[in-house]
A and B are shown apart, each in its own frame.
Chain A
Amino acid sequence: MSEKSAAETVSSNSAGDPLVRFVNVQKSYDGEVLVVKDLNLDVERGEFLTMLGPSGSGKTTCLMMLAGFEPATHGEIFLDNQPINNVAPHKRGIGMVFQNYALFPHMSVAENLAFPLEVRSMNSTDRKKRIDRALSMVQLDGFGHRRPAQLSGGQQQRVAVARALVFDPDLVLMDEPLGALDKNLREQMQYEIKHIHEQLGVTVVYVTHDQSEALTMSNRIAVFNDGVVQQLAPPADLYERPENAFVAQFIGENNRLQGVVEEINGDYCTVRVGDGTVIKALVVNIKSKGEQCTLSLRPERVYINPQAGGVENIVQAKVQELIYLGDHIRARMMVCGNDEFIVKVPNSADKSALQEGVEAPIGWLAADCRALAS
């Protein structure tokens, strides 16, 4: 559902041609290992696209190639339909927010913001107007005379965002900009950046390894692993319908059961898992009977003491450990021979039913249990 609406949002404010295109881009630093393997990726105009992946997955390298700080070993990158492989970074007109803000320490906030405007030889009255506007956009009116060192981490972060936007670039790149902030501030800044993006309609390419950050802010997320885009989809799709075992594992929490496909019946199949239990699951990318597969199941889609007939799969589980987390309780259970099976139990009145060491029936819908080729 959200895939369509997000795609519509994107296509509605673009003329159909993407702002950024990666075409068969490869990158190697040492001539032996490809950090980015054959990347093909379009970034639509006005889109907030996040490159998400573990460290070393090639996402930052892609951003650096787009910014012009790393040359592509092979392939072509297009910005606004122009190939930019041979365009110097300062001629690309791309705003950038760096991991540690990179605010110039020997300049005041206003001087920092003036830098891109001076380079463009803007006169001082226009410059002042722009700087004031940018500062008020990030709610830092009156901070212009301060030095970056006199600001808190969150304020520095906002200045960095204002500086990347002050010269009205079409494209802004953000390289893990919230990594250095504490959790509360990070969440607050996520919303602020999201709102600024919505207000200005600027295209943002955002790099992070924090999946909740990616889910909160993005129109689309490209999940990177091992130099390859594993899945490119809107946040809800990525969470609800991961296309492979890596995405399922990387986005959100996930229970995995290894098994062999017994039978395929249209959209559904039956899988015999480790201890012999047969489980009904949704077919995602398995092909044939007898194939090894991984069943992927979200912890919040598992029900304790399900009503008979309400769910397709019911198994016996033994509670190994209970962790109290306020709004919910995490129960680690032994299920089908896997003792790392996590169930999220809402913190409601019936929680007393669970005790460590107790056996209880648990169940889940076949539609929630995705059979992925392993």
Chain B
Amino acid sequence: MATAAHDLTSNPSAPLIADDGVPLKQKLARTTRRQRIRAFMLTVPLLAFLVITFVFPIGKMLVRSVNNPTVANVLPNFATAIQSWDETSSDYPDEAVFEAFVTDMQAARKVREIGKTVANVGVRVNYEIPGTGSLFKSASRKLAKVEEGPYKEVVLDLHKKWNNPLLWQTLKRVSNENTATFYVAALDRTYDIDGNVVAKKEELQIYVNIFWRTLWLSALITGICLVLAYPVSYLLSVLPLKTSNLLMIMVLLPFWTSLLVRTTAWIAILQSNGIINNILVWANVIGDDSRPQMIYNQTGTIIAMVHILLPFMVLPLFSVMKTIPPSYMRAARSMGGSWAYSFRRIYLPQTLPGVAAGTLLVFILAIGYYITPALVGGQDGLLISNLIAFHVRSSGNWSLAAALGTLLLVVILVLYWLYNKFIGVDNLKFG
């Protein structure tokens, strides 16, 4: 004991040793181990829940965006054989590939398992070259009776569409189960005859435009929310507790109502024969035949989403403003700063953590919003998540949905990174 104490004084830079000769750090770790295990155990249920229901399915979904085994599953021999074809040297693969195609098609006819039929191959190829979906079903019927070669002629004679080198190039591409084609499609691009990635025809371009629209509308909604929420939050932060609690309840009231109810309420209010238009017509502000369209377009999306997202802006702003004592503004004013100058130099900078948190929160929520634009957005109020939902629910092109989702995630991560770089995530205050 005495020696340990002696060591301690003689060499201050040496690690501290406890009485029994064990380094103090180890000893501390040992004594706090139980606490740390306890703390970890407290998070285990949530962690398990998240991994099973969220992380794993999302991961699997994201894998779909670069992995689609449909063709390889249905036509396994053909999928392998066609990979050896060099599309730059000949327009069509050689006889062996066609033989594999015919035998695989014949084998696939007997399969009834959902997702592994010839029809699925048709759908998959149709994603790449629209109008080829029915080709495979009829081919399957016709090829059933073919027993000997030359297979190449038989297949190319099935239909004039088979006489298209681009079709065979596409078949080669989709036979490979790991593919970038869905990202190419998500960015409104496609492959030309030389295998280069080129822009789609203008009338077929949708996703990039909607991505931009989503970003722009989210930014606009965030801006409107900030402008509306800042003065209210300020008022809430300076009012006496009793009044501010009441006002706060009114701000949070939307949270207590179902999202669907709120959105449909906006439909009742804003539609052509809705409350606002009827009042304006009744008051002779507008004529009965010139009712403005306020819903099923961008305006409707903006109004309804601002209403729904406003509390997410108010809460962080309020929580930051609440911590700013009024004496700062008073001090600034007593030193000669006018109200506007003092506000700009003293108050505003101190609310920036709340502004940053609120805008980030609202923007990220807005960029992925689905139900409101789906109900009130019409055509030009649709956001990217509506297209993702369309591909998941209607078109069945899950891989494209996954690719779009991944792109959305990347956009958000990039924005978050920029945010962190310029404002600093440590400065954020959510509440």
Interface residues of A (CB under 8 A from B): 67-69, 88-96, 98-100, 102, 104-106, 115-116, 119-120, 163-164, 167, 173
Q: Is B407 an interface residue (CB 8 A)?
A: no
Distance of A348 from chain B, by nearest CB (Å): 45
Which chain B residues border A164 with CB–CB below 8 Å? 334-335
How far in angstroms is the closest Cβ of chain A from B387?
43
- Whether B40 is near chain A, meaning CB under 8 Å from some CB there, is no
B-chain residues with CB within 8 Å of residue A96 when the two chains form the complex: 330-331, 334-335
B316-366: which have CB < 8 Å to A? 325, 327-328, 330-339, 341-342, 345-346, 349-350
Complex alpha-carbon distance, A214 and B334, angstroms: 24
Shortest distance from the beta carbon of A102 to any chain B beta carbon, whole Å: 4
A102 touches B349 (CB 8 A): no
User: Measured between alpha carbons, how far is A92 from B336 in the docked complex, in Å?
Assistant: 8
A92–B338 Cα distance when bound, in Å, is: 11
Top 10 nearest A-B pairs by Cβ distance? A116-B335, A102-B331, A102-B327, A96-B334, A119-B336, A89-B333, A98-B327, A90-B333, A106-B349, A90-B336
Q: In the complex, what's the smallest C-beta–C-beta distance from A166 to chain B, in angstroms?
A: 9
* Cβ contacts under 8 Å, B337 to chain A: 90, 115-116, 119
Contact across chains for A104 and B330 when beta carbons are under 8 A apart? no
Does B330 contact A89, Cβ atoms closer than 8 Å? yes
Given A67-B334, A115-B332, 6 new contacts (CB under 8 A): A89-B330, A95-B335, A104-B332, A106-B349, A116-B336, A119-B337
Question: Which residues on the B side are within 8 Å of A119 (C-beta)?
Answer: 335-337, 341
Contacts of B325 in A (CB 8 A): 100, 102
CA distance A88 to B333 in the complex (A): 9
A102 to B333, CA, bound (A): 12
Also in contact, A106 and B333, with CB within 8 A (given A99-B327, A100-B325, A119-B341): no
CB distance from B326 to the nearest CB of A (A): 8
Closest Cβ of chain A: how far from B322's Cβ, in Å? 15
CA distance A99 to B330 in the complex (A): 12
* Closest chain B residue, CB of each to CB of A175: B327
A69 touches B330 (CB 8 A): yes
Q: List 20 A-B contacts (CB under 8 A).
A: A68-B333, A89-B333, A90-B337, A91-B336, A96-B335, A98-B327, A98-B330, A100-B325, A100-B327, A102-B325, A102-B328, A104-B331, A104-B346, A104-B350, A115-B332, A116-B337, A119-B335, A119-B337, A167-B335, A167-B336
Bound CA–CA A237/B124 (angstroms) = 100
**Which B residue's beta carbon lies closest to that of A95?**
B334
Q: Nearest chain A CB to B332's CB is how many angstroms away?
A: 7
Shortest CB distance A218–B (Å): 22
Write the nearest CB–CB distance from A215 to chain B, whole angstroms.
Answer: 27
> What is the minimal beta-carbon distance from A67 to any residue of chain B, in angstroms?
6
In the assembled complex, the Cα of A93 lies from the Cα of B337 at a distance in Å of: 10
Collect the chain A residues with CB atoms within 8 Å of residue B350's CB: 104-106
Residue contact B345 to A115, C-beta cutoff 8 Å: yes
Q: Kindly state the separation between the CA atoms of A154 and B332 in the bound complex, as whole angstroms.
A: 21
Nearest-CB residue, chain A, relative to B349: A106
Q: Which residues of A contact B335 (CB under 8 A)?
A: 90, 95-96, 115-116, 119, 163-164, 167
CA distance A105 to B345 in the complex (A): 12
Nearest-Cβ distance from residue B328 to partner chain A, whole angstroms: 5
Residue in B330, B335, B339 whose Cβ sees the most chain A Cβ within 10 Å: B335
Contact with A along B189-233 (1 / 0, CB 8 A): 000000000000000000000000000000000000000000000
Give every chain A residue within 8 A of B338 (Cβ-Cβ).
88, 90
Q: Number of B residues contacting the other chain (C-beta, 8 Å)?
A: 19
Residues of A within 8 A of B333 (CB): 68-69, 88-90
Residues in chain A near residue B331, CB distance under 8 A = 96, 98, 102, 104, 163
Q: Which residues of A contact B346 (CB under 8 A)?
A: 104
Q: How far is the CA of A100 from the CA of B324 in the complex (A)?
A: 12
Which residues of the partner chain A approach B342 to less than 8 Å between Cβ atoms?
90
Q: Which residue of B lies closest to A104 (CB)?
A: B346
Kindly state the separation between the CA atoms of A105 and B324 in the bound complex, as whole angstroms: 10
Which chain B residue shows the least CB distance to A116? B335
The docked-state distance in angstroms from the alpha carbon of A104 to that of B347 is 9
Residue of B nearest to A94 (CB): B334
Distance between A105 CB and nearest chain B CB, rounded to angstroms: 7
Cα A164 to Cα B327 in complex, Å, equals 13
Best-buried of B330, B331, B332, B345 by chain A (most CB within 10 Å): B331
Bound form: Cα–Cα A173–B335 in Å: 12
- The smallest C-beta distance from A163 to any residue of chain B, in angstroms, reads 7
Q: Which residues of B contact A167 (CB under 8 A)?
A: 335-336
Complex CA distance for A99 and B327, rounded to whole angstroms? 9
Measured in the bound complex, the distance between the Cα atoms of B328 and A106 in whole Å is: 11
- Which residues 55-74 of B sit at the A interface, judged by CB distance below 8 A? none
| In contact, B336 and A104 (Cβ under 8 angstroms) | no
How distant is the Cα of A167 from the Cα of B338 in the complex, in angstroms? 16
State how many angstroms separate the Cβ of B17 from the closest Cβ of chain A: 34
Least CB distance, B348 to chain A, in whole angstroms: 10
Q: Which residues of B contact A92 (CB under 8 A)?
A: 334
A89 to B329, CA, bound (A): 11
**How far, in angstroms, from A358 to B328 measured CA to CA in the complex?**
58
A46 CB to closest chain B CB (Å) equals: 20
Cβ of A85 to closest chain B Cβ, rounded Å:
16
Residues A89 and B334 in contact in the complex (CB < 8 Å), given A106-B350, A119-B341? yes
Residue of B nearest to A173 (CB): B334
What is the CA–CA distance of A119 and B339 in the complex, to the nearest angstrom?
12
A68 contact set on B, CB distance < 8 A: 333-334
Residues of the B chain whose Cβ atoms lie less than 8 Å from the Cβ of A88: 333, 338-339
Q: What is the bound-complex CA distance between A69 and B332, given in angstroms? A: 12
For the complex, give the distance between the alpha carbons of A124 and B349 in Å.
23
Which residues of the partner chain A approach B345 to less than 8 Å between Cβ atoms? 115
Residue of A nearest to B347 (CB): A104
| In the complex, chain A residues whose CB is within 8 Å of the CB of B327 | 98-100, 102
Between B325, B336, B342, B345, the greatest number of chain A beta carbons within 10 A of the residue's beta carbon is seen for: B336
In the bound complex, CA of A116 to CA of B339 (Å) = 13
Cα A73 to Cα B338 with chains together (Å): 23
Minimal beta-carbon separation of A88 from chain B (angstroms): 8
**Chain B proximity of A161: nearest CB distance (Å):** 12
User: Given the complex of chains A and B, what is the CA–CA distance between A99 and B336 in angstroms?
Assistant: 19
* Cβ A93 vs Cβ B330 within 8 A: no
Bound: A164/B333 CA distance, A? 12
CB distance from B195 to the nearest CB of A (A): 56
B336–A120 touching, CB < 8 Å? yes
A67 contacts across to B, CB distance below 8 A:
330, 334
Which chain A residues border B336 with CB–CB below 8 Å? Answer: 90-91, 93, 116, 119-120, 167
Q: How far is the CB of B370 from chain A (nearest CB, A)?
A: 39
Q: How far is the CB of B352 from chain A (nearest CB, A)?
A: 8
B117 to chain A, nearest CB (A): 66
Q: A89 CA to B337 CA in the complex, in Å?
A: 9
Q: Smallest CB-CB separation from B342: which chain A residue? A: A90
Taking CB as reference atom, which chain A residue is nearest B335? A116
Complexed CA–CA distance, A272 and B337 (Å)? 62
User: How distant is the Cα of A49 from the Cα of B350 in the complex, in angstroms?
Assistant: 34
Q: How far is the CA of A255 from the CA of B308 in the complex (A)?
A: 66
